[in-house]
């Protein structure tokens, strides 16, 4: 599975961005796609994830209420709508995918087998 992320850029605090991640294919009905981010000098952290078939979503507390993850079945694409952006949201954002993830592992980067290249989001104050 190949993942292609796009949509990053420079935005002022309070602004919005939408990230996209197109998958070359889905491998099962239990497919999960997620977004992680990594700021300079920090570890990669979970942002959001969505179960493809049920559309159940998961969010990190730091983005809950500001970010929305969604998917387009026809395009095999997952989106991350980022609203009310803060300077602390500045990071390289990665999309990831895997099959049959149990809920307890969805926020763990090590649980995902497939990764896209990062797309840089910079939020200025």
Residues 6+ apart with CB under 8 A from 80: 7, 18, 19, 21, 35, 47, 48, 67, 68, 69, 93
Which pLDDT score is estimated for 61? 98
In angstroms, the CA 32 to CA 13 distance is 30
- pLDDT per position as a tens digit, 47-76: 999 999 999 999 999 999 999 999 998 999
Averaged pLDDT score across all residues of the chain: 95
What percent of the chain clears pLDDT 70, i.e. is strictly above it? 99
- pLDDT per position as a tens digit, 81-94: 999 999 999 999 99
Helix (H, G, I), strand (E, B) or coil at 103: helix
Which pLDDT score is estimated for 85? 98
Q: State the pLDDT confidence band at 33, using cuts at 50, 70 and 90.
A: very high
Q: Record the tokens describing residue 75, joined without a space.
A: 């395009």
Angle (nearest 5°) at CA 10 between 16 and 111: 75
CA distances from 12 to 7, 9, 52 (A): 15, 10, 32
Which pLDDT score is estimated for 26? 74
What percent of the chain clears pLDDT 90, i.e. is strictly above it? 88
Among residues 2, 71, 85, which one has the least CA distance to residue 34? Answer: 71
């Amino acid at each position: 599975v190949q993942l292609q992320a796009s949509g990053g850029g420079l935005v002022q605090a309070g602004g919005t961005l939408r990230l996209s991640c197109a998958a070359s294919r889905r491998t099962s009905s239990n497919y999960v796609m997620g977004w992680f981010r990594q700021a300079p000098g920090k570890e990669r952290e979970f942002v959001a994830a969505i179960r493809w078939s049920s559309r159940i979503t998961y969010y990190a507390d730091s983005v809950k209420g500001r970010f929305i993850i969604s998917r387009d079945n026809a395009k095999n694409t997952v989106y991350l709508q980022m609203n009310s952006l803060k300077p602390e949201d500045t990071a390289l954002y990665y999309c990831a995918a895997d099959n049959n993830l149990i809920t307890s592992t969805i926020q763990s980067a090590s649980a995902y087998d497939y990764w896209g290249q990062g797309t840089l989001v910079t939020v200025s104050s």
